[in-house]
Structures are given as C-alpha cells and as structure tokens.
Amino acid sequence: MRFRHRVAAGLATLVLPLAGLVGLASPAQAATSATATYAKTSDWGTGFGGQWTVKNTGTTTISSWTVEWDYPSGTSVTSAWDADVTSSGTHWTAKNKSYNGSIAPGASVSFGFNGAGSGSPSNCLLNGASCDGGTTVPGDAAPSAPGTPTASGITNTSVQLNWSAATDDNGVKNYDVLRDGKVVSTVTTTSYTDTGLTAGTDYSYTVQARDTANQTGPVSGAVAVHTTGGTTTPPTTGSKVKLGYFTEWGIYGRNYQVKNLVTSGSAAKITHINYAFGNVTNGQCAIGDAYADYQKTFTADTSVSGVADTWDQPLAGNFNQLRELKAKYPNIKILWSFGGWTWSGGFAQAAANPTAFADSCYNLVKDPRWADVFDGIDIDWEYPNACGLSCDTSGSAAFKNLMSALRAKFGSSALVTAATTADGSSGGKIDATDYAGASQYVDWYNVMSYDFFGAWATTGPTAPHSPLTSYTGIPTAGFDTADAMAKFKAQGVPASKLLIGIGFYGRGWTGVTQDAPGGTATGAATGTYEQGIEDYKVLKTSCPVTGTIAGTAYAHCGTNWWSYDTPSTIAGKMSWAKTQGLGGAFFWEFSGDTSDGELVSAINSGLS
C-alpha cells in the first residue's frame, strides 16, 4: 500500500500549476559539498521521464536544496513528484518538499518528472553553485548522444555492440547500455557484449553517455537484434490480421501477464493486440483500472524485459509492459479498446456529441506518458441502437457518426476499428445500425462470431456457442458466422474489413443426458470464474471433445455438455475465412489458451 500512496501523491502533483509552486533557495547554501546528477529514465518519442539525484558529499547535513537547469526551447517539464518545480522561460527550478529537504552526509535524495520534447538539461546549479560539486558557474553541460549502436557476432544467447563516442565539455565518464529501455550494464568503453539472452528473440538496444559530474545525455538511436535459434520467428504483418485481446484484469486472479505472450510463443505469431478495456463515461473515454494500466510495478520474473520496475519510474503497469513487448516485437500494433459488455452503456451519451467524445479519446490514447504504446483505438459498443446489458436507442446513424468523428480526430495514420455483433438474423442487431456506412471510417470490424448460444437459456437446448454455419436444429436462424458475414457483405461492408472471431473458451450446461446438440439441461455447468463458461486450456483435458458440428466442437462428459473451438476446428474456420476473402481473425482472449499458445498457433498457421 505504501507504493500505491506514493503513486497517488505523484499524481496529485500533476494538477498543480507549476508557475505557482515555489521560489528559489538562498544562494548562501553553496553546494560545494554536494552534487546533483541527471538521468533520463525513459523515452517514448513524444516525451520522456527524467530524474535528478542530489547527494551530500560533505560532512555536515544539508537542510534544504534547490536544483536549477536550462532546457532548450521546445523541451519542458509537464509533471513532477518529490519536488516543487517552476519555470521562467527556459530556466527550470526544483525545490525540495517538506519531507526530503534534509540530507545527511553521504546520503542522497531523488525527484522525478515527466517531460515533453527532446532536449537535454544544461547549466545545472545546486544551491547556487555547480552541480558537480565544484565552484564553476553555471556548471557542466550534459554529454551528447552516442552514435547508434551496431550489432555483430549475434548468437543464440549473445550480441556484440559497438558505438561511436559521445562528446562532453568536461569529458565522458562512462556509458549506460539499455536493453529494451532498461539499463543492463555501465561500461567505460564504446563496446559491450550482452550475454544470457534467449534464442530466437527480438531485443532493442540503445546507449547513453555520462559525464564526470554524472549527468547523462540523450539516448542514442536504437538497433534491433534478433538472436539466432529458437522455435519461433519474428512476427510479420503479412496480408491477414491476427489479433488477440489482452484484458487489464487478467493480471490479477488469472495471473496472465504481458510476459506470458512471450513465454507462450504467441507474441511471435500475432500482428495486433486489443487492450481491454477503457471505460466510457460522461460522454468520454476514461481509464478503466489505473493501477493495472500504469501504476503496478512488476518484478524481474514477471517483466517482459527481465528487469524489475522501480516504484518511482514514470510509467509502470501493463502500459509499460506493452511498451517493452513492442521493443521486442516492433511489428506488433496495439489498440486501446473502449467499452465492452459492462461499459457499453456509456456510448449513448458519447453518441450525443461524437466530436467531444473523439477529442476525449484522442487526448487519453495520445497522453504523452504512453502515446508510443498505442497505434490506434478500438470501439466495443455492445450494441448500437439495440440491446445488450442495457438497451440503446441512439438511432441507426449514431455508430456511423461516432466512427466518423474518431477517424477525423485520429487521422489516417492511426488504426480505428470496432467490435460488432454477429447477429445475422432477419431484423437482428446487424440490421439495427449502419455498419456499412461506418465501414468507410474503420480499418476493420471484429465480428464477434461466438456467444450465439449459452446457459442463459437455462434448460437448453444445448447448442455450440460458435457455429461456423447453420445446421439442422439450430435454435435461432441466422445465429452463425456464415450468415453474419453474408449479411455484412450484403449491406456493403467489404469482406477485407471483416475479421472472424474465435473464443478461447467454451460455454456449457449441466444436467444433460445426450451427446448430440439439442439436449435439455438443468442449468449452467460449473466454471472456474463464471458459471457456464470455462477456458479452453481447462476443457481440453477436463472434458475432451465428443464430436463436431457446424465447424466447431462439443463435448459431453458426465452430465456436463460444453462447446468450444480446438486447433482442428480453428484450422477449418481459418480456411473458410480465406475463401471468403476476410481480413483475418481475432480472438477473445489470450489467457484462455494453453501455456504454449496452441490456439494462437492454429490461427497463425491457418492464415499463413
């Protein structure tokens, strides 16, 4: 809880106007027995994280401290914690908080901040004197960026890196080597051999220089490295989308972390990830779970990079883990998905002012703290002008207007997608809204071709929840993938903008006596997290397949009856999707798969 409170205190700082915080400390407290050193802790392209460390190198306690520095025009501090920060033009000043002004001999304190721009600090002063502990004013300039590293001698487990030297007015002391954004070594030469790597894995390397005052300069350009060997290959976008949903809450009870995408081999076989879900409330996009999204710190064994998070780093949580994943697999595109079954009720208010909604979504997705993580936005409205958890009466044009506003705001370079119903019945949910008109604004639709049938019909009849085609005895005509896709195409949605949906789970009943679909039941079968639903990774052994119908599998074990997809039925569905000219496939969601990702492998193989 201590770390959670510290995060909250940092966030509170964000809302304070920087210009009204503090004045300067007295120059009489000359820092001849202290140093202030700067480090750039992260860089996400449109912004960065920075940290100053003040160390008492003398023999008496320092009672307070003030650090001053200059940034070039266009670089600024946007938020700070553990110090009060103000600026005058391009000159920045940070003064201790009430709780960290006193520094005992040999001790040090640090404060952090987020910034915008690409400049480095210069003219550093600590309590009116040079930040390197000397008497020179205004102090050292930070070193320049080293040259972009070159990689050679790549093996299954190691790589040799070399780079051209940085320059500094007082000399370069050493270099930090960063793997996937985190320091793995500090060296005094312009070369380094990184060892202990994983075969067949992608890494990204940068370096930054440190001068004799321990100021670090900007990070170099990055070099991508793929180690030899291994059983997987780097992801390629190819011609078909292979997309999976990652749930923010899966890191809790399910204990499914972003790192599991790597260890399962799934990250090497997908092209896109939908991060689910952001909230939709008050007509705006909003954070779903702040702790999971960007506050939770991960240990080394649960982190994608293999390096533990620190409590004070500018960005943590799933967002930082996704950033580390993209460093390893730069071809993966990540979309932030908003809505979902629980939060779709907020879309009615959003549809009343699509422009304001789009503005709010853009500002959240493009927040400087994580703008580099996301390549676009996905809208999961269940369901426009129809009923889901609640009923919407926004009208058939509301969805089109919403997607039009999002495309206008995000521009042509970002991905804009949506999850849609697969209700192909006459007068059903597809007919309720103008999906064809909206399709000009989207890159693709994730057609949720699952959950057609389930134990909400308590007594049955039992039926596969994700039939590819209709079959004799199907409880509702049009509740199958083929009919849904045919209806979308008949409306005018291009086949290439339709993705087939696969559920990585089964739906089931109990009290069933017959093997074949169409049996009666007494209620929902017991599931690990929810009645009537269970992950594929459990069902494949707890209730093995009895037979197949309409392109999917079913299983009768004891009095339980389940339906779910298997690698074999997925292969058939992928083959069908290719013959229909569909844009690819997506699935809900990663944690339902086996530890070696056999369902993801089936999708990848089937679409390759």
Quote the CA–CA distance of 207 and 190 in Å, as a whole number.
9
Two tokens at 288?
A: 């779903």
- Cα four-point dihedral sign 302, 304, 308, 314: negative
Is 186 within 8 Å of 175 (Cβ atoms)? yes
Q: What is the largest CA-CA distance in the chain?
A: 90
Residue 500 neighbours by CB distance under 10 Å: 31
In angstroms, the CA 465 to CA 173 distance is: 64
Distance CA 535, CA 537 (A): 5
Residue 249 region by backbone torsions, left for phi larger than 0, else alpha for psi between -120 and 50, else beta: alpha
**Do residues 50 and 83 lie in contact, with contact meaning Cβ atoms separated by under 8 Å?**
no
Contacts of 198 (CB under 8 A, 6+ apart): 157, 227, 230
Contact predicate 291/249, CB 8 Å: no
382 is catalytic: yes
- Rounded distance between C-alpha atoms, residue 416 and residue 400, angstroms: 12
Strand pairing partners for 296? none
* Whole-number Å distance between alpha carbons of 464 and 454: 8
Selected catalytic residue, list 324, 382, 534, 598: 382
Rounded Cα gap, residues 143 and 166, in angstroms: 6
The residue among 92, 85, 40 whose CA lies nearest residue 71 is 92
Non-local (6+) Cβ contacts of 99 within 8 A are none
**Can you read off the two tokens belonging to residue 375?**
């390549």
The residues annotated as belonging to the active site are 382
